[in-house]
Amino acid sequence: MSALPEREYLAEEICDLYTRLTGGGYSEDLRRARELAEEEGPQDHWLLTNHLDYESRLFLYAAVAYSLRCMKRDPYKCAVFVRSAAESLTAGRPAV
């Protein structure tokens, strides 16, 4: 299996996992997570998500969407969570 189909499979598995965890009731959140993972935005520099590949970003944004309910939708907690997770995911990787 080449790298591209493996990556597409991984992205689909991440989306399937999110759907199973949420009971399928949050498709708009998943759509937004995919959208955020696809294109780099101004927030990516501060959040350090610009150093991650698409699948890692998708996983991170899906995790954030899922955990936002536990954080009472607090934007500061969410931003700290994303940045800390991105730092952890990029630890040991060369800078882009």
pTM for the model: 0.74
| 73-84: pLDDT as tens digits | 788 888 888 889
Q: How confident is the model at residue 91 (pLDDT cuts 50, 70, 90)?
A: confident
DSSP 8-state symbol, 94 = P
The ranges assigned to domains in the chain are 3-90
| 3-48: pLDDT as tens digits | 777 878 888 998 998 898 888 888 898 899 899 898 888 888 888 8
pLDDT of residue 94: 58
Nearest CA to 62 out of 28, 12, 18, 21 is that of 18
* Alpha-carbon span 76 to 73, nearest angstrom: 9
Query: Following DSSP, what letter does each residue of 52-91 receive, concatenated?
Result: S-HHHHHHHHHHHHHHTTTTTT-HHHHHHHHHHHHHHHHT
76 C-beta neighbours (distance < 10 Å), count = 8
